[in-house]
Amino acid sequence: MTRLFGTDGIRGIAGEFPLDQKTLVKLGQSLARHLATRSHRNQDPLRVVLGRDTRASGEWIEEALVSGLVDSGADALTLGVIPTPGVAYLLQQYEADAGIVISASHNPYQDNGIKIFAPDGQKIPEQLEAAIEADLSQSQPLPSAIDQSTRPGGRERVSADPYLSWLEKRVADGLRLDGWRVVIDCANGAASYIAPTLFSSLGASVDVLHANPTGKNINLACGAVHPEALQARVLATNAHIGLAFDGDADRLIAVDERGEVLDGDHLLYLLASHQVQTGQVQAPIVVASVMSNFGLERALQSLQLTLVRTPVGDKPILDELLRRGGSLGGEQSGHLILPRISLAGDGMVTALEVLRAAVAAGQPLSVLAGGMVRFPQRLLNLRVNRKPPLETLPELQAALDSAVALLGEEGRILVRYSGTEPIVRLMVEASEESLLEQVLNPVAGVLENLLSR
């Protein structure tokens, strides 16, 4: 059986399996079928809310999913274009059994994807993902778990306004941005219809970039992945801060008043420092993925906080936050989670909290983030002919032991396989470039000898 769900749902080229119309109809049917067997709502009709970003393929993908849901007796509540975390929030407001987001996040417009949320705002569990994958692997039609003779499914367009209201009145409660010059880059994506209104409502002078989606310009040389235009505009307008969202607005990359990019690691440090100063720390940890820079680990130590690392992806980060009672976690990409506010990574929430910290401190962003100094990093992607478990390779383990001893407390080394490509990834971080090279080259040579020849 083909594994379709990755670290952030199903992703692929729109129109090709598994994002072809036939498979998407079946996905809607499968989700409704399994929700019906698991639902605690007794005789109430199943409800699924759907939102999408601005990709040209979003509308027909939505139609296919709605068709499958309605055919299986579920009510489909469509929100139109909305940030991914908006769906996670609104599915609770509309008392839905699941939420579907049609988006490929930071990918180009040709791609699209499916993210499915449970009623608590988290991604659906792996067991449900596996059950849907099993259904999609079958060639025969799926049996319905709903008695359609009793009540057919229906479709309804519902408002996304409660999400904006929640951001303005609850998340931003007490925050005023009068006198602040803010530049926002909406990536021609889902933030285009909400971010300008949100930050203007708080009193900021807002300069908006890339908020004219055409269906084909999402993430195109703009947004969180390409903040160059934002950097230039911040400097040209003498702005206090720049905020860059990705296509579905669950990520945030900031630009400080000097035009310097602040990625997710910088923002984690900034927010952790604010939480320490304001007594909001619930447990003395910050959770991040294995890809976060070693400089973050060092900076957090100065705050008496421990960096807990997880595999890549928001699901393992959230799981660890909930397990340990942490108040902050996220990825270097800018996908941050503040579980006290929301269990979904939300670029709008992150931006509001960063601004709250800056307003409270009364200091420039460069000063607030300056306590985190990035360690030099080198990442190599080496093609491999096979993927034996790394721990079964004694020569590699010996090379890694030597590397760890050489680095000591001045860096770290990480080796892992790509989950989708014939590639092994080698990452080394060290306090000095010379030390980095000393560690990198021997381990890279061993990997090539063992796996690429």
* One domain for residues 221 and 102: no
Assign residue 361 the CATH number of its domain: 3.40.120.10
**Are 316 and 331 contained in the same domain?**
yes
Same domain, 188 and 228: yes
CB atoms within 10 A of CB 181: 17
User: Is 146's pLDDT higher than 90?
Assistant: no
Q: Crossing angle for the helix pair 347-361 and 84-93, nearest 10 degrees?
A: 100
Residue 173 lies in a domain: no
Is residue 200 a part of any domain in this protein? yes
Q: Tell me the average pLDDT of the chain.
A: 94
147 within a domain of the structure (yes/no): yes
The sheet that has 47-52: what strands, in order across it? 5-6, 9-13, 111-117, 98-102, 47-52, 75-81, 155-157
- Note whether 195 and 65 are same-domain residues: no
**Rounded percentage of the chain residues whose pLDDT exceeds 90:** 87
Our measurement of the distance from residue 47's CA atom to the centroid of its chain's CA atoms, rounded to an integer in Å, reads: 25
Q: 146 and 228: one domain?
A: no
Instruction: Work out the pLDDT band at 145, boundaries 50, 70, 90.
Output: low
Among 21-30, 32-41, 83-92, 181-190, the range scoring the smallest mean pLDDT is 32-41
Residue 215 domain flag: yes
Q: Could you report the per-residue pLDDT of 384-398, keeping only the tens digit for each? A: 999 999 999 999 999
Q: Considering the domain boundaries, does residue 172 fall inside one? A: no
CB 66 within 8 A of CB 78: yes
**What are the start-end ranges of the E strands in 292-399?**
306-310, 329-330, 336-337, 377-383
Instruction: For residues 398 and 322, state if they share a domain.
Output: no
The average pLDDT across 48-66 equals 98
Q: Is the pLDDT of residue 341 over 60?
A: yes
Of 322, 342, 370, which one is at a domain's C-terminal end? 370
Domain housing 266: 262-370
pTM of the model: 0.91
Catalytic residue among 39, 72, 103, 105: 105
Per-residue DSSP letters for 240-301?
Answer: SEEEEE-TTS--EEEE-TTS-EE-HHHHHHHHHHHHHHTT--SSSEEEEETTS-HHHHHHHH
List, as own/partner pairs, every contact residues 310-317 make where C-beta atoms lie below 8 angstroms and the sequence separation is at least 24, other chains included. Answer: 312/7, 313/7, 313/8, 313/289, 314/7, 314/8, 314/123, 314/345, 315/7, 315/122, 315/123, 316/289, 317/287, 317/288, 317/289
Task: Among 150-164, 240-254, 285-299, name the one with the lowest average pLDDT.
Answer: 150-164
Q: Please, which residues have CB within 8 angstroms of residue 270's CB and are 6 or more apart in sequence?
A: 262, 354, 357, 365, 368, 369, 372
How many domains does the chain contain in total? 4
Confidence of residue 139 (pLDDT cuts 50, 70, 90): confident
Indicate if 33 and 145 belong to the same structural domain: yes
Residue 51 contacts residue 87 (beta carbons within 8 Å): yes
Residues 316 and 381 reside in one and the same domain:
no
Structure tokens at 238: 């003498």
pLDDT: is 284 or 148 the higher one?
Answer: 284
Q: Report if residue 164 sits inside a domain.
A: no
pLDDT reading at 294 higher than 60: yes
**Residue 166, in any domain of the structure:** no
Look up 103 and say whether it is catalytic. no
Question: Residues 130, 194: one domain?
Answer: no
Domain CATH number, residue 412: 3.30.310.50
Q: How confident is the model at residue 88 (pLDDT cuts 50, 70, 90)?
A: very high
- Same domain for 132 and 97: yes
Query: Are the beta carbons of 250 and 345 closer than 8 angstroms?
Result: yes
In this predicted model, which residue has the larger pLDDT, 74 or 142? 74
Answer yes or no: do 26 and 147 share one domain.
yes
